[in-house]
Amino acid sequence: MKYFDYFSFDTLGETLEFLKKQKHFVKIISGGTDLIIEFRKNSPKLENIDKVLDISRLRVLKVIEEDNDYVYIGPSCTHTEIVKNDIINKYFPALVEACLSIGCLQTRNQGTIGGNIVNSSPSADTVPALVSYNAELELLKDENIERIFKVKDFIKGPYKNELAKDEMLYCIRIPKDNTEDRLHVFEKLGRRNALSITRISVCANALLEDGKIKKITIVPGAVLPRFKNMKIAEDFLTGKKPQKEVLREASELVAKEVFDEVGERWSTPYKKPVLEKMAFVALCKMFKIEII
């Protein structure tokens, strides 16, 4: 167990002020469902860290709003809050599915979307959904200096991201293009049906026009060091009718693209065929094609 000092402020201003003043890296804590475990393990990731800054009391980080262009999600929203939110359910059902798949009810009540993103695990479940919806992050330094990243660019590798030491994640915003007409899917595989780290997931959404795929994004989870769209499969599918054989071919492309990148590992003989099948299952589900 690693021990630390705890700080918490009433306002965003004071919080940012405090962050700026620190010489060492301070750890922001939100739900703590990732961080406390790291502290308990005395993880090497926490070397040099002896202060924890609790942001869970800041109400501004807990709102979900929309305007014409975006839906804005406060990073301190818990998975349960997202699952219950009407706006998210209306536009981003795959994100709802992703949040619903996390841990167990207690984890979902405590863990937050911001924590899930900033922890930047390759098996973070909300991230494939966010990437598939082309979500962006607003990072705040002091109340004026803001940097914006696409989620897929923000995460640089396993547990690595662009967050600077005096910066915090302020908002997650997701563009609202054609969202209402899209089809969505999130498929996840773990060793268990609850409380299980994702082995493979596939998140996708698509827009159809005259029975043909006008636009599609496919983002796998837990198989790559960084999250990304499966460009080759997406291009292959664009303009085609979503028929079983086409989807099967696209799934092969997904597996190929992933494993061309990561190469052969201990788990590849399993993960490669299964990713292909998972992609196929996800695509069929999305386009409402029955498989048994």
Q: Which stretch binds other proteins (CB under 8 A): 22-30, 116-124, 136-144, 145-153?
A: 116-124
281 binds, among ligand FAD, other proteins, none (CB under 5 to 8 A by kind): other proteins
Three-state helix/strand/coil letters over 226-284: CCCCCHHHHHHHCCCCCCHHHHHHHHHHHHHHHHHHHCCCCCHHHHHHHHHHHHHHHHH
Interface with ligand FAD, residue 55, by CB under 6 A = yes
State yes or no: residue 196 binds other proteins (CB under 8 A): yes
Smallest gap, in angstroms, from Cβ of residue 103 to ligand FAD? 3
Q: Rounded to whole angstroms, how far apart are CA atoms 91 and 86? A: 9
192 binds, among other proteins, ligand FAD, none (CB under 5 to 8 A by kind): other proteins
* Per-residue contact flags (x/-) with ligand FAD for residues 87 to 106, judged by CB under 6 A: ---------------xx---
Site for ligand FAD in 202-221 (CB under 6 A): none
Residue type, 164: A
Binding site partner of 201, from other proteins, ligand FAD, none, Cβ cut-off 5-8 A by kind: none
Residue pair 260/250 in contact (Cβ under 8 Å)? The answer is no
Does 201 participate in binding ligand FAD (rule CB under 6 A)? no
Asked if residue 76 lies in contact with residue 169, where contact means CB atoms within 8 angstroms, the answer is no
Residue pair 136/75 in contact (Cβ under 8 Å)? The answer is no
State the binding partner of 93 from ligand FAD, other proteins, none, CB within 5 to 8 A by kind: none
Tokens 């804590």, residue located: 29
A 10 A CB-CB count for 270 gives 12
> Any contact of residue 156 with other proteins (CB under 8 A)?
no
Check residue 151 for interaction with ligand FAD (CB under 6 A): no
Among 8, 109, 121, 179, which residue interacts with other proteins (rule: CB under 8 A)? 121
Alpha carbon distance 273, 255 (integer Å): 7
Q: How far is the CB of 118 from ligand FAD (least distance, A)?
A: 3
Task: Find the shortest distance in angstroms from Cβ 48 to ligand FAD.
Answer: 14
Q: How many CB atoms lie within 10 A of CB 178?
A: 12
What values do phi and psi take at 148, rounded to 5? -125, 130
The residue ranges that bind ligand FAD (CB under 6 A) are: 27-35, 37, 55, 75, 102-103, 107, 111-112, 114-116, 118-119, 124-125, 163, 168-169, 195
